[in-house]
């Protein structure tokens, strides 16, 4: 089954199976070599200039959000702010756990009192 030139613009239909396999292996080797070179070049990390640009961009964006990190004192204050928020969250979670337990205990207690008083009413009425 041979394809028409419109369906096979690269002319692959003219190649034998062994020629196609050879071309595929050569292409794979070339692509692997190109990818390896790319990874080696990029994998060395950022230059100092690129790191400075990234840091500046991050600081600008964080400053726009209201978080200044341009000095050591600002960084320490930001850390303390986050520690405060964590302590507040942990306190809130602990309180809700305790209050939740107290509420459940109270509901169970009320249910037991209602059941117990109904039971004693039934006993006092002679089981009727």
Tens digits of residue pLDDT in 23-46 = 777 877 787 787 787 777 776 677
Report whether 15 contacts 23 (CB < 8 A).
Answer: yes
- The pLDDT tens digits for 77-110 are 888 888 999 998 998 888 888 888 888 889 899 9
Residue 3 has pLDDT above 80, yes or no: no
Report whether 59 contacts 51 (CB < 8 A).
Answer: no
- What's 12's DSSP letter? G
pTM for this prediction: 0.37
Look at residues 53, 50, 81 and name the one whose alpha carbon lies nearest to residue 65: 81
Burial 104-116 (b: 16+ CB within 10 A, else e): eeeeeeeeeeeee
Q: What is the distance between the alpha carbons of residues 120 and 126, in angstroms, rounded to a whole number?
A: 10
């Amino acid at each position: 089954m041979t394809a028409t030139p419109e369906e096979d613009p690269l002319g692959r239909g003219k190649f034998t199976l062994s020629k196609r396999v050879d071309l595929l292996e050569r292409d794979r080797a070339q692509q692997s070599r190109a990818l390896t070179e790319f990874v080696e070049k990029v994998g060395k990390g950022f230059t100092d200039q690129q790191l400075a640009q990234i840091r500046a961009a991050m600081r600008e964006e964080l400053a726009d959000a209201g978080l200044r990190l341009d000095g050591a004192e600002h960084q320490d204050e930001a850390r303390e702010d986050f520690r405060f928020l964590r302590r507040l969250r942990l306190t809130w979670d602990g309180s809700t756990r305790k209050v939740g337990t107290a509420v459940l205990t109270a509901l169970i207690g009320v249910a037991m009192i209602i059941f117990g008083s109904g039971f004693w009413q039934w006993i006092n009425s002679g089981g009727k």
